Amino acid sequence: MQFVKASLFFLLLTLIPVALPAQEEKGSHAAEAEEEFDASSFIMDHIADSHEWHILTKKNGESVAIYLPVILYSKEKGLDIFSSRKLAHGQVYKGYRLEEEGDNKGRIVSLNDDGTVNEEGFLLDLSITKSVVGLLFSVIIGLWLFLSLSRSYKKTGISHPKGIQSFLEPVILFVRDDIAISNLGEHKYEKYMPYLLTVFFFILLNNLMGLIPFPPPFGANVTGNIAVTMVLALCTFFITQFSGSKSYWRHVFATPGVPVWLLPVMIPVEIIGLFSKPFALMIRLFANITAGHIIVLSLVCLIFIFKSLGVAPVSIAFVVFMDCLELLVAFLQAYVFTLLSALFISLAIKEEEHH
């Protein structure tokens, strides 16, 4: 029932920004063409990172949004901190502009005196975007959950789980028994448990937050941001390489059973294999989460594409179904990423068996 409510609310929120501007007087065919609904732009605007949190659009076309801080540093201008409202709707502020189209769409660029983009200047963008807010909020939730769990254990000790313990303890035991121990072994799993638990709950929290459309900071497509998934994959990559045993590196640079003359071919292949594993982790998480959001938004867009409320019941039914499926994917992708990370680490720390 909660998913039905969430889906209906999601539909309402997505109808408002698109429907309200259309309540203008009907003009010529040219005006109607301008108001033609662009599904691809609508979807990409919702899943992409942004410097503002769009709430709704009024009848007069004015947007109601939460404007986030912009933090910029350049050698010429130094440090600048201001609200992204200053750059809304293509405005120029202090020689900066937020690009709304082209290759730099969504990026803040520095301008020359003649209004052209300064391609040569150094500009460091440390702005607080939707994804950053989502990340910070997930960290706060994670800290609250596990600090509460820690205090609970200090008070009651190892006993029958109550409250938040009853939810978190089975999940932690699942990660320990079915992921860490089964892949890393009973003697080595404890060293990597903090990382595996952190990755699992970080991905799970952000996946679940992305399914809740409102209010901010929920609804941010954090794990659908390839920069976030790349950092997660790099963490697994570096832990794997720094944990590598002698036999692991011997297998890379002197593969057992391979003739010496064939090593110049095998070594590049093995090195490519080192990077292909984290690359697969990065793309798998990014693609699955992003695809889920695109499908849900596409189903909502059917109402506007067909321009008929008769499509609404069917669209809502599929949205509810996709929300349920996305909930499964949220847990599944956290599990898969953690499982593969444990598997890659286990392959690196495995010692040769001597008979």
- Distance, CA of 352 to CA of 355 (rounded, Å): 10
Q: Specify the residue for token string 């209004």.
A: 115
Q: Strands (DSSP E) along 61-122, which ranges?
A: 63-67, 69-74, 78-83, 92-93, 96-98, 108-110
Please list, in sequence order, all residues whose beta carbon lies within 8 angstroms of the beta carbon of residue 193, skipping any fewer than 6 positions away.
175, 176, 180
Question: Which pLDDT score, from 0 to 100, does residue 36 have?
Answer: 72
Q: State pTM to two decimals.
A: 0.83
- Distance, CA of 55 to CA of 68 (rounded, Å): 13
Residue type, 89: H
Question: Which pLDDT score, from 0 to 100, does residue 315 have?
Answer: 87
Which pLDDT tens digits describe the chain residue by residue (355 residues)? 333 333 433 333 333 333 333 333 334 444 444 457 777 777 887 888 888 887 777 766 677 888 899 999 988 888 999 998 998 888 888 889 998 887 778 888 888 888 888 888 788 989 999 999 999 999 999 999 888 888 877 777 666 767 777 788 889 999 999 999 999 988 889 999 999 999 999 999 999 998 887 777 777 889 999 999 999 999 999 999 999 888 888 888 887 777 888 888 888 988 998 999 999 999 999 999 999 889 888 888 888 888 877 788 888 898 889 888 999 999 999 999 999 999 999 999 887 655 4
Retrieve residue 155's tokens: 């008070």
Per-residue DSSP letter, 330? H
Retrieve residue 345's tokens: 């680490």
Q: Specify the residue for token string 């809740």.
A: 212
> For the chain, what's the residue count?
355
Retrieve residue 334's tokens: 């956290």
Question: Which pLDDT score, from 0 to 100, does residue 283 have?
Answer: 95
- Distance, CA of 15 to CA of 37 (rounded, Å): 12
Q: Residue ranges per domain, the chain? A: 2-65, 69-125, 130-349
Retrieve residue 92's tokens: 């120029």
> Residue 80, SS3?
strand
Is there a contact between 56 and 16 (Cβ–Cβ < 8 Å)?
yes
Is there a contact between 44 and 59 (Cβ–Cβ < 8 Å)?
no
